[in-house]
Amino acid sequence: MPEGDTIFRAARTLDRALAGKVVTRFETVLPRLERVPLQGRTIERVVAHGKHLIIEFDGGVHLRTHMRMNGSWHIYRTGERWRKPRSDMRLVIETADYVAVGFNVPVAEFGDAPPLGPDLLAEDFDADEALRRVRAQAGEEIGNVLLDQRVMAGIGNIWKSESLFRSGVDPFVRVGDLDDVTLARIIANARKLLRASANGRADPMVYSRGGQPCRKCGTRIQSRPQGPDVRLTWWCPNCQRVRP
């Protein structure tokens, strides 16, 4: 599933190509999107909110998409050949210069994003509010809390594991067993990693490396399912010594 950094990069690319342009053609295979005419509207901006990508048009119309596991946005010059088959197309927004194509987008609807926690990639990210929301989940494992978009928006499975590795915290320790200094460190590291990845400067240390030696200490990386969605978590038992 694309994480906040991936959506941030996609929104930035779409915004550079589309902002200020008039929609010359709108096509979709999703009946729920046909009720609002977009042709002739001006695209005001494209923004990311956590894992949601929102295209804002004049007249207060907002188109929200969520990629889930397989969705993606592509941007092409007008007339350029698509890199995916037309059967994967879900919606097309065309201007005089560019064509934005949403492929295999599972969630696309008019309206703003649902209520989310502080966006880790936002310039006005509220670290104190994020800490308060994390602290309120005292009985939950910290690895699960980091994935809860109502607590903080933007983290997925990759940066969950990486944030906890950098912070030296076992993913299965409960929030109530961590002090505020440790929680603040986790939040700060999550923000740093997401921002670095959004700018192409972050490499995973433990994610998807189960059974391989830790790049920091050489200990074998471990992994196991976690949370109600049974998603794999990776960690180094030597480097992450804050344990349940």
The set of catalytic residues is 2-3, 51, 231
d(CA 226, CA 157) in angstroms, rounded, equals 10
DSSP alpha helix (H) spans, 48-151: 127-135, 142-147
For residues 23 and 41, the answer to whether their CB atoms sit within 8 Å is yes
**Count of CA atoms in the C-beta half-sphere (13 A) of 109:** 7
DSSP 179-221: -HHHHHHHHHHHHHHHHHHHTT----SSTT-TTSBPTTT-PBP
Of 182, 156, 158, the C-alpha closest to 170 is: 182
Report DSSP state, residue 231. Answer: E
